[in-house]
Amino acid sequence: MNADRVLATYYIETPYSLEHAAEVMAGEQSTGTFTAVPGETSELKEKHGARIVAVRELETAYAPSLPGARPPKGHDGKYRRGEVVLSFPLRNFGPSIPNLLAAVAGNLYELQEFSGLRLVDLELPEAFAAKYPGPKFGIEGTRKMLGVYDRPIVGTIIKPSIGLSIDDLRRLVRDLAMAGLDFIKDDELNADPPYAPLKDRVTAVMEELERAADKTGKKVMYACNITGDIEELKRNHDAVLKAGGNCVMVSINSVGLAGLAFLNSFSELPVHGHRNQWGYMTRHPLLGIDFRAYQKLCRLAGADHIHINGLNSKFYESNESVIRSAKACLTPLFGGYRTMPVISSAQWAATAVPTYEAIGSVDVIHLAGGGILAHPDGPAAGVRSMIQGWEAAVKGIPLDEYAKTHEELRRAMEKFSNK
């Protein structure tokens, strides 16, 4: 790792040569523009220019993946794809996530030399770790707060997402807390709506969780959605903290990475990072940003948990992508902290097996909505079935066999196996 430079890796498609395209990228995002300008001296370019580290040719396409590219005269009909690594001098932007993104992402996507461009990964110098301390709780802190070890944290989501009155919310939270869940989260659609203001919701939620804890001896972690304008984040966080809350949730792409870092600067609670809107940033394979790069910035900015979808989910994302995302979160950043991946969407007890086989870790939050709430014997049985599914996965025992001696798992398999 270079102490004074940032390495950015890209996947590109271009009607030009890969080398020419890389030169355009390096110039556009540092000292150059479409033509030479006064003051662009060799000394300035040496000190502030981005450098081409590597260009690796991959496959060739014969039609552009994205509109807007302008091929050169005499174009041979080929759209060359490859991996390009650029090195940016830290002195150009300093350890600043917003200004880093202006350099490594900026106007690149709009250049007519490209019919596809995707930021794949980032290698950041230690200066970013000094500026951004990262998550305050992470995996270890979250487990310590819950007292849950050696298995995933099992949770669910408040549904219906929108429309529950405060009294309806009370009843639902009461039932979920008594079911033995570790974790409950607000839906990203529900933060501080006029019909059920956050201060009223969090008061009702925490009263019910405290009552349940008095009976069960276990206080559920509840991620209360505090997403809002920048000036609202501290007020919302403090309202959760004052009510006895133990987790806050924020929609990262709504508040931005700077908003997430601001929240982390004062938060006294784990920050549950939801990545809704992620699809528009990444769904096309030759556009946007890969999760490998994205999650590093989210972790730097303070996300203790980050959503990654789930295997065989309702969303477009491939299982391979979900697995890569989980492993990325679990890889120590700057030799230290990890962030807990949050697995969700169409999950139930049986999805534990392929998930564990793929990532080899129980350090996840495994969320199931219908997989818990729609269990034929009720939510408590749904929670137990999820735990039993993970037990079978970790022990390497086939689900059918484990279900013979675990009623809740057996009933879940009868209900959901053909879904």
Mean pLDDT of 285-291: 96
Q: What letters, b where the CB count within 10 A reaches 16 and e where it falls short, cover 313-333?
A: beeebeeebbbbbbbbbbeeb
Q: Answer whether 188's CB lies under 8 Å from 225's CB.
A: yes
Lowest mean pLDDT among 71-80, 271-280, 410-419: 410-419
369 sits in which H/E element: none
pLDDT tens digits, 181-227: 999 999 999 999 999 999 999 999 999 999 999 999 999 999 999 99
Please give the mean pLDDT across all residues of the chain: 95
SS3 343: strand
Q: Answer whether 58's CB lies under 8 Å from 79's CB.
A: no
Helix ranges (H only) for 267-333 are: 278-282, 291-301, 319-330
| Domains 5-131 and 138-416 fall in the same CATH topology | no
pLDDT at 30: 84
pLDDT at 32: 65
The whole-angstrom separation of Cα 89 and Cα 106 is 15
pLDDT at 45: 79
The whole-angstrom separation of Cα 103 and Cα 318 is 29
* pLDDT of residue 295 exceeding 60: yes
The whole-angstrom separation of Cα 177 and Cα 185 is 12
| pLDDT band at residue 31 using 50, 70 and 90 as cut-offs | confident
Closest CA to 285 of 143, 125, 403, 117: 117
The whole-angstrom separation of Cα 173 and Cα 25 is 52
Closest CA to 291 of 281, 301, 302, 277: 281
| pLDDT band at residue 42 using 50, 70 and 90 as cut-offs | confident
Fold classification of 138-416 is: TIM Barrel (3.20.20)
pLDDT tens digits, 326-382: 999 999 999 888 999 999 999 999 999 999 999 999 999 999 999 999 999 999 999
pLDDT tens digits, 170-185: 999 999 999 999 999 9
Residues 6 or more apart whose CB falls under 8 angstroms from that of 151 comprise: 362, 387, 390, 391, 394
The whole-model pTM stands at 0.94
Fold classification of 5-131 is: Alpha-Beta Plaits (3.30.70)
* pLDDT of residue 34 exceeding 80: no
| Domain range summary for the chain, segments of one domain joined by + | 5-131, 138-416
pLDDT at 37: 64
Which neighbouring-strand residues pair with 274?
251
Dihedrals phi, psi of 361, to nearest 5 degrees: -150, 150
Q: What percentage of residues in the chain have a pLDDT greater than 70?
A: 98
Cα diameter, the chain: 79
